Amino acid sequence: MLKNKLVLATITGLLLAAGWPTYGLPIFLFFAFIPLLFAEKEIRLSDKKRKGLKSFLLAYLAFLVWNSITTWWIWYSSAFGMFFAILVNTLLMALVFLVFHHVARRLPQRLHLIFLPVIWIAFEKFHLNWDFSWPWLNLGNAFSNHTAWIQWYEYTGVFGGSLWVWIINILLFKIIEKYRENKDRKALSRGIAINVLLFAVPVIISMIILKTYKESSEKVNIVVVQPNVDPYTEKFDQDNVTTTNELVAIAAEKIGPETDFVIAPETTLAMLTPIDKFQFTREKFVLQSLARKYPDINVLTGADMYRLYLNSKERPSKTANKTRRGDWVDYYNAAVLINRDDSLQFYIKSKLVVGVENFPFKSVLEPLLGDIMLDLGGTVATKGIQEERDILISQNKKFKAAPIICYESVYGEYVTDYVKKDANFLAIITNDAWWNNTQGHKQHLSYARLRAIETRRSIARSANTGISAFIDQKGNVLKTLGYELKGSLQASISLNSEKTFYVKYGDYIARLCVLLAGLIFLYAIAIKRKPKASLPPVK
């Protein structure tokens, strides 16, 4: 019997993986959890010992299969990072399922089958906000390549998609369960028909929104640059002046008098520059040469920067790192806007990649682990952040760009903070070269389409090695420049100043789930455990 349960858990993992972008079909997600639910129920209602451990191990197997197939590509950036991300993320998912198992042993089905979706969504929300944040596999992300299905994300965000997946999984589970008990084919047919409607109605609503939504006629003309520089062998060995001269040459192929923005990737200027003295650097004057030729042009580029605090006895910021000399320094993954006006605008990346840019729980772990993160290919120098989002405003004050750096584009509610500051288009700058030509950079581009729908903002995306792209407000990819190609793209994309329901209210679905999960969990603790039941005989 154990073998059968292992097969069921493996099937769940394979179905979840088969539903993931960019290679998968999300239809598989709507019944992916059912095999694992039946395996857990059989364990829970059995007379065997260690039910919790067995349920946990089955869940771990299912989620290990899913995580491994969908995110193995992290290997190209860091072997340790891949194993850590896969094993720890699997552990967290399995712990969520273990909590469900214990609650299910105490509460009737009508309650514990509500508890499972809400505790899972509460976990997804938690995973957006703590130091080991890794929301890559939040269920609502799975529809990023099928945006015609989820135009209603402008009202719900990705948590609407997560809830949709869970509702259908739970109802199908109950239908199959009842059929196993009474063999009523009519009831089975009715139940399946209801679930088909639960799938079809949101898709139909989405199609209607897709057909009726109209973009603004107001446009911004943008050139995005794709330098295609290998970060392992070239990027950090080239001085910033050489880099900017090459960037200007690439951009010049598409620039004209009508161009409003030139956008270059994350950390294009890879040689560390003092942020307070960038105004006087040669690379700044090279980039400003574009504005001297075309006075309305604004150049947005990524840069590695730092701020040195001399003779400071106390830590000047939460993220400051102590130098060997005893001073303090903040390192920044920044974006800078340059135009013919000498007043520069900066934005500092604030959603940092765990281990690479951020030493999680540094005050606790650093004294215990020392330089282990550095030894494993990460960093002990946590990068600085800024507490609030900033937008970068064009010379003529007409265009307001949301400077979204790399990993930040995975966070829905985070991106809405730019729009609340009146950003009228999104500028994503990234360096996806770390993952080689795998699903990593493809999924990252695909997830950007969700941000377009949630905020109804067009996107200009500049990626170092690709894929650079333009995305409209419906999540349609308009133009791309393929992986490992050098060049530039030009397009005029629509602006928007309206704020969607999701921009205004954010992750309200997740917050309601956190509240409901907490109430059900407390109720489960407060009541006596329900008496044992037995599984119905299988004919």
User: What was the pLDDT predicted at 528?
Assistant: 67
pLDDT tens profile 280-335:
999 999 999 888 888 889 999 999 999 999 877 788 888 888 888 888 889 999 99
Cβ–Cβ under 8 Å, residues 163 and 170:
no
From CA 539, how far away is CA 181, in angstroms rounded? 9
> Residue 534 to residues 29, 175, 179, 350: CA-CA distances in angstroms?
29, 19, 17, 52
Cβ–Cβ under 8 Å, residues 287 and 248:
yes
Cβ–Cβ under 8 Å, residues 383 and 357:
yes
pLDDT tens profile 57-112:
999 999 999 999 999 999 988 888 899 899 999 999 999 999 999 999 999 999 99
* Every domain of the chain and the residues it spans: 2-213+505-526, 219-303+335-349+388-496
**pLDDT of 250 above 80:** yes
From CA 323, how far away is CA 19, in angstroms rounded? 47
* Tokens coding 509: 């679905």
Looking at 29-38, 44-53, 449-458, which range is the least confident one?
44-53
From CA 253, how far away is CA 489, in angstroms rounded? 9
Helix ranges (H only) for 362-421 are: 362-369, 372-375, 412-420
User: What was the pLDDT predicted at 315?
Assistant: 84
Average pLDDT value over all residues in the chain: 90
From CA 225, how far away is CA 248, in angstroms rounded? 9
Nearest to 450, CA basis, from 494, 401, 403, 500: 500
> Does an H or E element contain 526, and which?
helix 508-526
**pLDDT of 226 above 60:** yes
User: What was the pLDDT predicted at 537?
Assistant: 57
**pLDDT of 532 above 60:** no
SS3 state at 298: strand
pLDDT tens profile 252-267:
999 999 999 999 999 9
Dihedral of alpha carbons 180, 193, 21, 360, sign = negative
pLDDT tens profile 173-189:
999 999 988 888 888 89
From CA 415, how far away is CA 442, in angstroms rounded? 20
Cβ–Cβ under 8 Å, residues 318 and 387:
no
Q: What are phi and psi of 261, to 5 degrees?
A: -135, 140
pLDDT tens profile 326-385:
888 899 999 999 998 878 999 999 998 887 777 666 555 555 555 544 443 444 467 889
pLDDT tens profile 471-523:
999 999 999 999 999 999 999 999 999 999 999 999 999 999 999 999 999 99
Task: Look at the block and give the residue holding tokens 């969908």.
Answer: 70
What architecture is domain 219-303+335-349+388-496? 4-Layer Sandwich (3.60)
Q: What is the DSSP string of 483-510?
A: TT--EEEEEEEE------HHHHH-SHHH
User: What was the pLDDT predicted at 376?
Assistant: 39
> Residue 181 to residues 44, 58, 136: CA-CA distances in angstroms?
17, 24, 38
- How far is C-alpha 63 from the geometric centre of its chain's CA atoms? 18
> Does an H or E element contain 55, and which?
helix 51-71
SS3 state at 223: strand
